[in-house]
Chains A and B, each alone.
Chain A
Amino acid sequence: MGKPSPGLLLAALLTLAALVGIWGGYIAHRPSAPAGGSVAPSADATADEGADSQAGNDEGDSDGDTGADDEGAAKAQMKSQPPALSQAPWDQVETVGDEGELVEVIYNDDNEWEMVGWRVKGIGLYGAPEFYVAARKWDDVPLFPCSDCHGTKREPDPRPRALTEDHEKIFVKHGNDRIWCSDCHGGKNMNFLVSRRGKPVDIDQGHVFCGECHFAQLKDFEFGVHGRRIGFHSGPRVLRTCTECHDAHQPQIAAIAPDPPPEFRENLRAFAPMPKHRPPVWERFGKGTAP
């Protein structure tokens, strides 16, 4: 074994110094490094543990307190949850006056602010973020207010029949012939819809009324998944009410003609249709005829 050369010794020293430097840097910069950096981390840790255990043993009361706080937080969280269907949220619906709270709907069209209609604050039953509904009973519902005739000039006739006068264009095709006018309109004030539980519901809050049967759609509507939003993708939500798209008397939406298809570029033509798979064996050799 020969005597190591000074150069080798120097190199070994340098390597050692570099390793120590790297280790020190790691200790100082690791995520949970104490303020003292690499100063006796193990001793600190044991001291902390001791203090923790002592506090846990001595202060039983404080533990109880924190538990109560947790319960309160849990209750607050539960309150913010939407009510369960079994709690009958319909009972919470209060009558909204005829005049409602009309607020201007304005939106920026081509960099100009213009008023396009009215909105009322929407009643939500599922804990959705605040929303408005585009009001339409005064502008779009023909012959509103209904009390001009019903209640003064003539009484509503609850018998199913072919409608005449003013209502001759209404054909009730809703709910497989199980629904007639008086199932939705009625009560003392004909200006309101009447809910299943006999409560008057403002026509501009019609979604609450429709949602008595179509509750899944109502939940999606309130969260903005079913239906259409007007104007903006962020900011105050103004939703189109159910009856802007669905005719409440004939909710089936008819098929319409599509807009024209895209043109072919010059000298190009349609792809040959993709070959279809053969019908499955049970259709080819079974009793039924293959499509």
Chain B
Amino acid sequence: MIANGVSHRPDPEQAAPWVRTLRTTRRWFMRRTGLAGLLALLFGGGALRAAADGEAPGALADAFAGMFQDQYKRMSPDDVQAALGRIQRNALRDYDREIEVRADPPKPNTVYGYAINLSKCKGYRKCVDACVAENNQSRDPAIEYIRVLEMDLGSLDLHGGDHHYNPDLVPREGKFYIPMQCVQCDNPPCVKSCPVEATWKEPDGIVVTDYDWCIGCRACMVACPYWARRFNWNDPVLPSDKINPVTHILGNRPRPKGVVEKCTNCIQRVRRDREPACMEACPTGARIFGNLLDPESELRYVLEHKQVFRLKEEAGCEPKFWYFFD
């Protein structure tokens, strides 16, 4: 440290002899780091060679290769395949369960949207349960993507809504229910706020997160006006028999501690034309999901024939998530 042109570093020549032996000069640090790097290369090279010989790489090799994994959008197809294999092996190690991880690409001419009929939603929370089961969310601490707000009739004040409601029977008199989840903004503030570009909008409109690239700064959680993002404060607790083995690398694959996650419209399902889990579970038929670019889709019929609105439109995020009463 040099201030006013005077070095405050103690002169090594004047220090005690035992300090002189332990002194941390830059040269010493570089030499030690280089040595450690060489050792790591030797280890890692051995592990990678083992993989090339047909043996499954061990935990050390996977950890080493994962350290050098690039951001998802910059990965080559081979890199993606290697990452899928690593995720599967890690799931087997951590949860003792064989899972299938896919990397389905977005479909052409597709932008997904969502609509909810608030006249039909009764606050059963079936969507919440289905979401947790489908998306391999941590059970302890419990992470839930969907938040169902119980609101007073005649008010759309979201801060007055209660998502811890627990009456004996729903729906209650004088109340209505608004399910909230990630609205998949067309102009997503979470993407703008991410300092490392670990989250982005896919061509089919789904905002996804690269869990291996996320640094856990939680800037996106602050930026999101819809309270849609969740943080893994601890190592996710996920019983082996509760794991959904059909996963997507940007969706419901098991997540590590210290990363942010959120609803992806069940990317592992909708990219294979299936309905999102919340829609399939809803017993009232309040949820309507579809392709905004398909003029025959049910979603387009809703947008053209019902009085739809969006939450917090003034934030300018252009959510692809509409609500309506009928």
Asked if A and B bind, the verdict is yes
List residues of A whose CB falls within 8 A of some B CB: 107-108, 110-111, 129, 220, 223-229, 231-235, 245, 255-266, 270, 273-274
List residues of B whose CB falls within 8 A of some A CB: 100, 117, 122-126, 128-129, 141-142, 144, 147, 157, 159-160, 162-171, 233, 245-246, 270, 272-276, 279-280, 282-285, 288-291, 294, 296-298, 301-302, 305-306, 326
Looking at the complex, which one of A110, A232, A274 makes contact with B273 (CB distance below 8 Å)?
Answer: A232
Looking at the complex, which one of B144, B160, B275, B301 makes contact with A223 (CB distance below 8 Å)?
Answer: B301
Looking at the complex, which one of A224, A228, A260 makes contact with B301 (CB distance below 8 Å)?
Answer: A224
Contacts of A258 in B (CB 8 A): 123-125, 165-167, 170
Contacts of A264 in B (CB 8 A): 164
Q: Cα distance A226–B291 when bound, in Å? A: 18
Q: Cα distance A229–B117 when bound, in Å? A: 15
Shortest Cβ gap from B115 to chain A (Å): 9
Please state if B273 and A265 are interface contacts (CB–CB under 8 Å): no
Looking at the complex, which one of B164, B294, B296 makes contact with A262 (CB distance below 8 Å)?
Answer: B164
Shortest Cβ gap from A240 to chain B (Å): 8
Contacts of A257 in B (CB 8 A): 168-170
Q: Cα distance A255–B124 when bound, in Å? A: 9
Contacts of B168 in A (CB 8 A): 257
Q: Cα distance A245–B280 when bound, in Å? A: 14
Given A245-B283, A258-B166, A266-B141, decide whether A223 and B123 contact each other with a Cβ distance below 8 A: no
Looking at the complex, which one of B128, B165, B170, B288 makes contact with A256 (CB distance below 8 Å)?
Answer: B170
Contacts of B160 in A (CB 8 A): 274
Q: Cα distance A265–B162 when bound, in Å? A: 16
Q: Across the two chains, which residue of chain B brings its CB closest to A109?
A: B274
Q: Across the two chains, which residue of chain A brings its CB closest to B324?
A: A225
Shortest Cβ gap from A136 to chain B (Å): 16
Q: Cα distance A274–B152 when bound, in Å? A: 12
Shortest Cβ gap from B19 to chain A (Å): 44
Q: Across the two chains, which residue of chain B brings its CB closest to A291?
A: B174
Q: Cα distance A259–B100 when bound, in Å? A: 29
Shortest Cβ gap from B233 to chain A (Å): 7
